[in-house]
Amino acid sequence: MYALVERMYPLCRSITGDGVRATLDIVGEYIPLQVHEVPTGTQVLDWTVPQEWNIRDAYIADSTGNRVVDFAASSLHVLGYSVPVSATMPLAELRPHLHTLPEHPSWVPYRTSYYKPDWGFCLAQETLDAMPDGDYEVRIDSTIADGHLTYAEYVVPGQVPDEVIVSCHVCHPSLANDNLAGIAVATYLARALAEQPTYYTYRFLFAPGTIGAITWLARNAERVDRVKHGLVLACAGDPGQLTYKQSRRGDAEIDRVLQHVLTASERPHRVTEFTPYGYDERQFCSPGFNLGVGSLTRTPYAGYPEYHTSADNLDFVSPAAMADTLAVCREAFAVLDRNRRYVNLSPYGEPQLGRRGLYDALGGRSDTKQAQMAMLWVLSLSDGEHSLLDVAERSGLPFDTVAAAADALRGADLVKE
């Protein structure tokens, strides 16, 4: 995953353009993607697909021709969606177009102007402080023209058409944690799920933030009722503890599953309530759709000083943190995929488990007592109303043990889905 982040890091991404396509080309080497191109001007819900932005070069050069600020050194150096510029101007005229972080003088900020024509450069405050008065050559070799918005999907088919959607945004430039780590975790999660049989169909969405999710929802409105659960991945590689942000519903099954998995794992973590600000969970959870979609991050958006700055670099993310995020996703989907409701087919009194060989089948297990209790709990709560997650939470037993007990009881024709 870290190597994948390294490959994507230098590319200049935005909400449209060749940087997004190049990123999806790389992801497509790992999983087979279906890429969609949506033309400029397409109405998507209350929004319109914007013109496409591409950039080839940009710089500020002093009177000697030295590039004081150079897009080639970092894609963060240009205000996202800058209109083309070719001019020479004094520093005083240039200053309003320069963005810095005085509180972190060596960091370069990430800034955009998607929906208002503008241009600018982002640079370290210490670079600006070292620029003497005088004339500077300013060049932004960019185009804003009719084109397309690009997003991609990968579907892992399951036993049923009901879907779990996993979404990550692909619109940020060189920011390792705030989107590249999420892309990498989503990619390897997709690969892991594709290698095993799944109950649900899993749909992975790689799309630019906000406008990408809105575009997907607009184009899939007639089938969005298939989406039973969902998870938005972002900020997946920083050193902070895991944070799960609940869906707007607050009691969706994905909310309960993540709460259970994080608590049972004894990892340091936080669970926060939904707010209509953040990543694309706010689009999936908007009241018209009201999908059960939560968000998993490590440190949440804007929750760390490096957020949206050049300090969100390859040194800020780690293989260990991404591996931990991936592990939690796999554990959560393993619970979600097996969480069913059952009906006890022998509900009058306790059925005799011994003569069915169920106790014998447990012989030699290190958790024999737990497994026996799990069978009794599953039988007790298999009334068609309680799920296996309900059983695990009420009994205090591990979900895996409860699910194994349900499988054994189903094999003995004592319960049915």
pLDDT per residue as tens digits for the range 244-279:
999 999 999 999 999 999 999 999 999 999 999 999
> What is d(CA 383, CA 223) in angstroms, rounded to the nearest whole number?
31
Which helix (DSSP H) or strand (DSSP E) does residue 113 occupy?
A: none
Domain residue spans in the chain? 2-50+148-338, 54-145, 341-416
Q: What confidence category does residue 157 fall into, taking pLDDT thresholds of 50, 70 and 90?
A: very high
Coil, helix or strand at residue 295: strand
| Strand segments (E) across 123-277 | 135-145, 148-156, 163-169, 201-207, 227-233, 242-245, 269-272
| Sequence-distant (≥ 6) Cβ neighbours of residue 13 within 8 angstroms | 19, 20, 23, 75, 170, 171, 172, 173, 179
- Residues forming beta bridges with residue 166, ordered by sequence position: 204, 231
Q: What confidence category does residue 396 fall into, taking pLDDT thresholds of 50, 70 and 90?
A: very high
Q: What is the pLDDT of residues 104-113, one digit of tens each?
A: 999 999 999 9
> What is d(CA 313, CA 322) in angstroms, rounded to the nearest whole number?
14
Tokens representing 256 are: 């309960």
So what's the pLDDT on residue 368?
74
Ordered strands of the 341-344 beta sheet: 383-387, 341-344, 415-416
Q: What confidence category does residue 366 fall into, taking pLDDT thresholds of 50, 70 and 90?
A: low
Q: Does pLDDT of 120 surpass 70?
A: yes
Q: What is the pLDDT of residues 305-339, one digit of tens each?
A: 999 999 999 999 999 999 999 999 999 999 999 99
> What is d(CA 178, CA 312) in angstroms, rounded to the nearest whole number?
8
**Are the folds of 54-145 and 341-416 the same?**
no
Tokens representing 152 are: 């991609």
So what's the pLDDT on residue 363?
52
Following CA atoms 240, 262, 295, 34 in sequence, which dihedral angle do they give, to the nearest 10 degrees? 100
So what's the pLDDT on residue 26?
98
Closest to 296 measured CA to CA, from 325, 264, 323, 331: 325
**Could you tell me the pTM of the whole model?**
0.95
Q: What confidence category does residue 159 fall into, taking pLDDT thresholds of 50, 70 and 90?
A: very high
> What is d(CA 331, CA 242) in angstroms, rounded to the nearest whole number?
14
Percent of the chain at pLDDT exceeding 70: 98
| Sequence-distant (≥ 6) Cβ neighbours of residue 117 within 8 angstroms | 83, 144
So what's the pLDDT on residue 347?
94
**Distance from the Cα of residue 277 to its chain's centroid:** 15
CATH class for the region spanning 54-145: alpha beta
> What is d(CA 334, CA 331) in angstroms, rounded to the nearest whole number?
5
Percent of the chain at pLDDT exceeding 90: 95
CB 238 within 8 A of CB 317: yes
Q: Does pLDDT of 365 surpass 70?
A: no
Q: What is the pLDDT of residues 346-359, one digit of tens each?
A: 999 999 888 888 87
So what's the pLDDT on residue 361?
56
For the chain, the average pLDDT equals: 96
Q: Does pLDDT of 194 surpass 90?
A: yes
Q: What is the pLDDT of residues 280-307, one digit of tens each?
A: 999 999 999 999 999 999 999 999 999 9
Tokens representing 50 are: 């914007």
| Sequence-distant (≥ 6) Cβ neighbours of residue 223 within 8 angstroms | none
| Strand segments (E) across 15-78 | 34-39, 43-44, 47-48, 52-61, 67-70
| Strand segments (E) across 172-226 | 201-207
So what's the pLDDT on residue 358?
84
CATH topology for 341-416? Answer: Arc Repressor Mutant, subunit A (1.10.10)
Closest to 257 measured CA to CA, from 324, 163, 335: 335
Tokens representing 293 are: 């979609």
Tokens representing 224 are: 């969005």
Give the residue-averaged pLDDT of 235-243.
98
Residue 150 φ then ψ, to 5°: -115, 130
- 2-50+148-338, superfamily in CATH? Zn peptidases (3.40.630.10)
- For the chain, how many residues are written? 417
Q: What confidence category does residue 362 fall into, taking pLDDT thresholds of 50, 70 and 90?
A: low
